[in-house]
Chain A
């Protein structure tokens, strides 16, 4: 158990819909990262938050957004969903420095029909 929790575990929805994925970091970690894992793109970094502020942005679509709340949990919002958004979405947490281990949650599997 990494100490990072993600809800829900599975999500099935239709094209055009909007969903919210939730992540609670390990106790004491200030930084949260979101990654997308798909068969064709592999594991891709989406976005990082540090203590409530956006710190880095990767290959995140404009239809996607995220935020980190004062209690440090984070939410990833995916809107106008397309079939190609079906993937496993991971949240990870760390102290925020480049040499620290990122601890990954179990992921949310999203299926868009």
Chain B
């Protein structure tokens, strides 16, 4: 069965600092990997996804993630944090021909001035 682990329920950074949100997955077959963002009182919005091809994936708002099969990781990064990035971020996986998503527990990103 697939599972997703997000290290750190809360991550705090200063504005302008590097953002690194960690995601590790377990999957018996090559997965499809997703990062979603949830702003307060809103639904989830896709940041980026890995399906096939290039392992470095670029998304919206300057975020990117790299699929590393050997490390079973899909960490999310952004070179310079902005106040508007403060939100909860979820890593998710689908596999095995099923389109249903298994989510990690989420990481709340806090950005201080």
Q: How far is the CB of A12 from chain B (nearest CB, A)?
A: 16
Contact call B95/A98, Cβ cutoff below 8 A:
yes
CA distance A26 to B42 in the complex (A): 17
Chain A residues near B43 (CB-CB < 8 A):
2, 4, 90, 104-107
Shortest beta-carbon distance, B41 to chain A, in Å? 8
User: Shortest beta-carbon distance, A91 to chain B, in Å?
Assistant: 9
Provide the residues of chain A in CB contact with B44, threshold 8 Å.
90, 92, 104
Q: What bracket does the count of chain B residues touching chain A fall in? A: 20 to 34
User: For residue A90, which residues in chain B have a CB less than 8 angstroms away from its CB?
Assistant: 43-44
| A100 contacts the other chain (CB 8 A) | yes
Contact B51 A58 (CB under 8 A): no
A99 CA / B103 CA spacing, docked (Å): 15
Report how far A35 CA is from B97 CA in the complex, Å: 19
Q: Is B25 in the interface zone, CB < 8 Å from A? A: no
Q: Which of B45, B95, B99 contacts A100 (CB 8 A)?
A: B99
Q: Which of B75-105 contact A (CB under 8 A)?
A: 90, 94-95, 97-105
CB distance from B5 to the nearest CB of A (A): 12
CB-CB under 8 A from A51, the residues of chain B are: none
On whether the beta carbons of B102 and A99 are closer than 8 Å, the reply is no
Of all A-B residue pairs in the complex, the 3 with the closest CB atoms, nearest first, are A104-B43, A43-B103, A99-B51
